[in-house]
Amino acid sequence: MTLPPAVERVLDRAQSRIPRRWLDRARAAADRVRDVTDHPWLERLAQVGLVAYGVVHLLIGWLAFTIAWRLSPGTSGADADQAGALRTLAERPGGLVLLGVIGLGLLSLAVWQAGEVLRWWGGLLRAGRRVHAAFVCAKCIAKAVVYGALAGIALVFAVGAHYDATESTQELTDDLLEVPGGAVLLVAGGLAVVGVGGYLAWRGWTAGFMKDIDLAAAPDRYEPVIAAVGRVGYLAKAVAFAVAGGLVVWAAVTSDVSTATGLDGALNTIGAVPTGQWLLTAVAAGFAAFGVYALARARYPDRDPAT
């Protein structure tokens, strides 16, 4: 996809007015920062983060399964979301130390992922590549934010503090509903989450996630397995995101903040519909499958974030 020729000409003229020395300095600075994000030690720590990311999804899958079958998870009623999964680890012997390691790993993963922007930003200066480069850069930044947020939650639990994702989501929803235009922002945010769900579904259906795996390093016999668990995982996350976004939109339309409950609320909503027990079981299996995919990515990571 490319921009209309008129837009490309405007951008080219704007770029030509930037002093050459400024562009050279920007490239030199980007190269220096990229040397840090490409350091082998950071990559190893990022792999720890990917392992942690996989474990979190395995735990979400288990918590969702306990909701579907009304089992006791033994976690003081932990929510079936990222915070609930990390709280589950915090309640285990040695869990606080493990959460510290997970938090640092996820933080390194966020920095590592953000470093991908430095590999692609040059495309913003090239006609015909701007749209693709902008999309990839935006995706890398979004992933870095997600990993960074998870790192923050892990470190919060590691120091013995408390965090409830559902409560925070409801408080934010309530605050937005009290300001002019807040309901519109909530609807836009909910639709954006639904859009993320659509993107995850597309990525799962097309197996685009396999470009994040170093297939040259992975044994050939593992490739179909990784593709299968990745597809199931991405499609399950797509369903959860779509429901979570829909609940935010419903909260905005009805002014009922109790429906804005994030991932945990989305999974509980799936479980509450007719045949929901089996639907939620399938989604739980999907989250576990995504966890397995994340572990495979940790073992065979590829720096190329191409779509």
The answer to whether residue 21 is domain-embedded is no
| Residue type at position 157 | F
The answer to whether residue 20 is domain-embedded is no
pTM value is 0.82
Q: Convert the pLDDT of each residue in 123-163 to its tens digit.
A: 555 666 667 777 878 888 888 999 999 899 889 888 888 77
Least reliable range by pLDDT among 14-18, 34-38, 46-50, 118-122: 14-18
The number of CA neighbours under 13 Å toward the Cβ of 49 is 28
Q: Convert the pLDDT of each residue in 274-289 to its tens digit.
A: 888 899 999 999 999 9
Closest residue by Cα to residue 179 from 252, 74, 283, 71: 252
Stretch 15-42: mean pLDDT: 63
For residue 208, give its domain range: 5-11+33-299
Stretch 15-21: mean pLDDT: 57
163-169 contacts, C-beta under 8 A, 24 or more apart: 163/83, 164/79, 164/83, 165/79, 165/81, 165/82, 165/83, 165/84, 165/262, 165/263, 165/264, 166/79, 166/81, 166/261, 166/262, 166/264, 166/265, 169/260, 169/261, 169/262
The answer to whether residue 233 is domain-embedded is yes
Q: Convert the pLDDT of each residue in 69-100 to its tens digit.
A: 875 444 444 577 788 788 888 888 888 888 89
The answer to whether residue 127 is domain-embedded is yes
Question: Structural domain tally of the chain?
Answer: 1
The answer to whether residue 223 is domain-embedded is yes
Query: Residue 121's pLDDT is what?
Result: 63
CA distance 103 to 108: 9
Closest residue by Cα to residue 106 from 136, 69, 145, 138: 145
